[in-house]
Amino acid sequence: MKLDVYNSSGSKTDKSVTLSKAVFGIEPNDHAIYLDVKRYRAAQRQGTHDTLHRGVVSGSTRKIKKQKGTGTARAGSIKNPLFRGGGNIFGPEPRDYTQKLNHKVKQLARRSALSYKAKEKAIVVVDAMRMEAPKTQAFLGMMKGLDLAESKTLVVLPSPNDAVYLSSRNLAKHRVMVASDISTYDILNCNKLIFVDGAHEVIEGLLK
Cβ neighbors of 56 (< 8 A, separation 6 or more) are 87
Contacts of 121 (CB under 8 A, 6+ apart): none
CATH architecture group of domain 2-40+101-207: 3-Layer(aba) Sandwich (3.40)
The per-residue pLDDT for 125 is: 94
First to last CA, the chain: 15
Rounded Cα–Cα distance for residues 161 and 155 (Å): 11
Q: Which helix (H) or strand (E) holds 3?
A: strand 2-6
Identify the DSSP state of 181. G
Q: At 15, is the secondary structure helix, strand, or coil?
A: strand
- What is the reported pLDDT for 79? 94
Domain boundaries, the chain: 2-40+101-207, 46-96
Spell out, as residue ranges, where the chain has pLDDT lower than 70.
Answer: none
CB 107 within 8 A of CB 207: yes
Q: What is the DSSP letter of 10?
A: S
Angle between the N-to-C axes of helices 199-207 and 103-119, in degrees from 0 to 180, rounded to the nearest 10: 140
